[in-house]
């Protein structure tokens, strides 16, 4: 008998964008007493982890829970694309293999009473095929039920992050984050480019306060104030073919220590640390 109910999921209602391409980030499925996590890294590999308490554990209980929490992880394993927005975890070259992965996870879940074997044994495709519902949501099957992994935002760290388009003339976007939270932005197209615009990071939380992201705000200075509309005007001047929207480049999502995402033309651009 299954000891979890899909309607109990505590997931963030993240921003849904019109793309289903694979993106770097951490995605979490939350049940009443356990979490599943998939971390997708810059090398297009995924690491799965499980952490959970016994089925009888009460999260509202103030008693000592030391020793009750268990962990299991597997990976990183390559992700192989099998559809427009679907990837499968590739266990080739792994000593564990898909069967070993399922057996180890089944042992942990059975020990804690999350599932009862053989009534609720793990299926061959459970947690193996990952479908990007959006850039912020991954779906997969578990015990015959579709479950959702929602993106979890990370905290920012100082550094220089860059995006370069594959086509010519090159479109280049640079975000330089300083230790004090100031951000310098510059856009280039071929030999043309904007000046450096300065803004500051302001943390935001999404629905249910579980999804962290950042909004770039104006920095007060004595002589001048960089306005967001001015940045977009400069970008439009050197990239007239782009259909810019008022919120473009303004929201920043931290996918990992080395990757950030920003919105442009209804899609997410991935900027990597340089």
DSSP 155-197: PP--EEEEEE-SSSSPEEEEEEE-TTSEEEEEEEETTEE---E
Q: What are phi and psi of 151, to 5 degrees?
A: -60, 140
Confidence of residue 225 (pLDDT cuts 50, 70, 90): low
- The CATH number that domain 159-273 falls under is 2.40.128
On the question of pLDDT at 1 being above 80, the answer is no
Helix, strand, coil: what percent of the chain each, to 5? 10, 40, 45
Q: What are phi and psi of 164, to 5 degrees?
A: -130, 130
Full-model pTM: 0.73
> CA-to-CA distance for 98 and 126, rounded, in angstroms?
10
pLDDT digits (tens, 9 = 90+) for 111-166: 777 777 666 678 888 999 999 988 788 999 998 899 999 888 888 999 999 999 88
DSSP 8-state class, residue 254: E
More reliable by pLDDT, 175 or 108:
175
> CA-to-CA distance for 25 and 72, rounded, in angstroms?
19
Lowest mean pLDDT across 37-46, 53-62, 186-195, 240-249: 53-62
Q: Where are the domains of the chain?
A: 6-152, 159-273
pLDDT (mean) for 200-207: 82
Tell me the range of 179-188, 212-221, 237-246 where mean pLDDT is highest: 179-188
């Amino acid at each position: 008998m299954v000891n979890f109910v899909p309607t109990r999921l505590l997931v963030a209602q993240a921003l849904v964008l019109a793309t289903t391409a694979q993106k770097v980030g951490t995605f979490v499925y939350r049940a009443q007493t356990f979490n599943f996590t998939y971390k997708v890294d810059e090398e297009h590999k995924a690491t799965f982890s499980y952490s959970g308490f016994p089925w009888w554990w009460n999260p509202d209980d103030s008693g000592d829970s030391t020793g009750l929490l268990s962990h299991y992880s597997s990976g990183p394993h390559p992700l192989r694309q099998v559809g427009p927005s679907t990837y499968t975890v590739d266990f080739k070259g792994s000593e564990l293999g898909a069967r070993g992965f399922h057996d180890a996870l089944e042992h942990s879940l059975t020990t804690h009473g999350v599932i009862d074997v053989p009534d609720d044994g793990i299926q061959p495709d459970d947690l193996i095929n990952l479908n990007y519902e959006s850039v912020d949501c991954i779906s997969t099957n578990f015990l015959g039920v579709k479950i959702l992994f929602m993106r979890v935002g990370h905290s920012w760290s100082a550094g220089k992050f860059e995006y370069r388009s594959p086509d010519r003339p090159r479109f280049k976007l640079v975000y330089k984050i300083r230790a004090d939270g100031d951000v310098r932005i510059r856009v280039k197209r071929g030999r043309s480019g904007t000046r450096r615009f300065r803004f500051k990071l302001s943390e935001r939380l999404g629905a249910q306060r579980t999804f962290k992201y950042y909004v770039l705000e104006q920095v007060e200075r004595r002589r001048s104030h960089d306005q967001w509309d001015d940045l977009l005007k400069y970008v439009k001047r050197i990239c007239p073919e782009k259909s810019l929207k008022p919120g473009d480049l303004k929201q920043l999502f931290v996918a990992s220590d080395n990757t950030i995402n920003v919105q442009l033309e209804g899609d997410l651009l991935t900027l990597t640390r340089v």
